[in-house]
Amino acid sequence: MESTTIFWLFSSILFFSLLLLSLLKPIFSIRRKLPLPPGTLGWPYIGETFQLYSQNPNVFFASKVKRFGSIFKTHILGCPCVMISSPEAVKLVLVTRAHLFKPTFPASKERMLGKQAIFFNQGDYHIKLRKLVLRAFMPESIRTIIPDIESIAVGMLKSWEGQLINTFQEMKTYTFNVALLSIFGKDEVLYREDLKRCYYILEKGYNSMPINLPGTLFHKSMKARKELAQILASVISIRRQMKHNHRDLLGSLMGDKEGLTDEQVADNIIGVIFAARDTTASVLTWIVKYLAENPSVLQAVTEEQVAIMREKCGGEKVLIWEDTKKMPITSRVIQETLRVASILSFTFREAVEDVEFEGYLIPKGWKVLPLFRNIHHSPDNFPDPEKFDPSRFEVAPKPNTFIPFGSGTHSCPGNELAKLEILILLHHLTTKYRWSMVGPQNGIQYGPFALPQNGLPIRLSLKA
C-alpha cells in the first residue's frame, strides 16, 4: 500500500514537472535564441535619464537611432526600456499587438497619479473608464462650457495687458482652470485654490526618482498627493449629498450605475489634471512663439479669426461650437505645432510577457517607448521636417506618421477639449492683441517637455 502511494506521488510530481517544463519551454526557447535589442543601459539605476532630460531630445534619439537603428535599448527613470521609432513598429505596439503591451508610467508617476487611473489599466476596467471620460469630453458635453472657457481666456488675457509675462507659466494657469472646469463644472471655483496649492507641489516630483525619504522631491510630492486625495474625498462626499445630475467629468465618474469607489474616482481626477495641463500649456506656448516668428502665418490666422468676429456683429458676441468649425487655418497651425514641437516625445508601454519583436527579445516587465518625436521629424514622413509649415496639413499625412495624441484604445480621450480651449484662446489673442517676445529666441529648455527658453517671456498689448 505504502509503495503504491509513493509510486502515484512520484508519478504525479513527474507529470506536473513535465507539464510545467512544457509550458515554460517556449519562454526558455525565446530567451535562449533571441538577443536583446542593441543599445546601452548607462549607469546602475540612474541609467541614461540625465542624458535624455538635460538636452534636446532630438539629439538623444537621433544619436541612438544613427548608432543602433530604429529599435534600441536604454534605461531611464529607473526602468530598462526598448525604444522604437518606425511607424510600422509603433502601430504594432499601440494597435495590432496592444494586448502584449500594457500602458504604464515610471514608478514615481504611477504612485503619484494613483494605480487605478485610466493610464495604468487594461481590459474591462479600462473600457469602462474610457467610456466615462469620453462621455464627459465628447463634443455634446464640452460645447456647453464654451462660454465658461471663453470667460477664463478673456480674463486671463486682460490680466496680461502691458505686462511682461512668462507664457508657459500663464498657460499652465489657463489650462489648469479649464481642466478644473471640465472636471467639476462651475463648482470648481470652490476648490480651485486648495487643489492648485497641492497639485503644484505634486507635479514637481513627477520625473523624480521614487526615493521616499524626507527632503526628497518624491517625498514632498507624495505628502501633497495624500492631501490632494483628502480634498477630493470631501468634494466627492459633498457631491453625493447633493444628488443632482452633473454633466462634468466628476458626475460621469460618480454615476450610480458605474460602481467606482471614491479612490478610483480620485485617482482618475488627478490623472486627468495631469494629462490636461502641462501638455496643452506647452502647445499653446509654442504656438505663440511660432506665430510671432512667422508673420505670414499669423496674418492668415488673424484674418480667419477676424472674419468670424465680424460675422457676429449685431448678433451673439460669444463664440459657439459652430464657430470653431470655421477655423481650418488655425487648426492646421495647431497640427503643425504638435508635429514640430512634439510635446510628448514618447509614451510608455510595458511588455506583459516575453515578446519576440523584429528579431529581438523584449523581456517581460521591460518598458517599450514608441518615439513620436522621431516619427514626426523624419524627412521620409514630412519633407523639410524642421520647418514650421502648417500648409503641409492641407493634405492628410501618411498613416501612423502623425500621432500627437497616441493611437489605439489608449489614445488621449481629451483631445477635443484641448483643441477647443486652444482655438478659443487664439481667437481672442489674435483679434485683440499684439505681442513681442523678450530676450533670447533660440534657446530651448527641457525637463521633461521641450519649451522655449525661460518659458517664452512676452509683452502683450491691446491693438489700437
- Contacts for 89 with CB less than 8 Å, ≥ 6 apart: 70, 71, 357, 358, 370
Question: What CA–CA distance (Å, rounded) separates 268 from 248?
Answer: 13
Distance from the Cα of residue 380 to its chain's centroid: 25
Known binding residue 412? Answer is yes
5 pLDDT higher than 80: no
Q: Looking at residue 316, what DSSP letter applies?
A: -
Percent residues over pLDDT 90 in the chain: 50
Place of cell 506521488: 9
Tell me the three cell numbers of residue 8. 502515484
Place of cell 508657459: 168
Is the preceding peptide bond at 448 cis, omega within 30 degrees of 0? yes
Which of 51-55, 291-295, 452-456 reaches the highest mean pLDDT?
291-295
Residue 290 phi, psi dihedral angles, 5° rounding:
-65, -40
174 pLDDT higher than 80: yes
Tell me the three cell numbers of residue 322. 459652430
Q: Parse the chain into domains and list their residue ranges.
A: 30-443
Q: What is the DSSP string of 397-424?
A: PPTTS--TT--GGGS-TTHHHHHHHHHH
Q: What is the pLDDT of residues 84-112, one digit of tens each?
A: 989 999 999 999 998 899 888 767 778 88
Q: Would you state the pLDDT for residue 71?
A: 92
Question: What CA–CA distance (Å, rounded) separates 225 from 39?
Answer: 36
Q: What is the pLDDT of residues 222-279, one digit of tens each?
A: 999 999 999 999 988 888 887 777 788 998 998 867 788 999 999 999 989 888 888 9
* Nearest CA-CA partner of 333 in 401, 258, 388, 378: 388
| Mean pLDDT score across all residues of the chain | 86
285 pLDDT higher than 90: yes
Question: What CA–CA distance (Å, rounded) separates 240 from 256?
Answer: 10
Q: Choose between 45 and 274: higher pLDDT.
A: 274
Fold of 30-443: Cytochrome p450 (1.10.630)
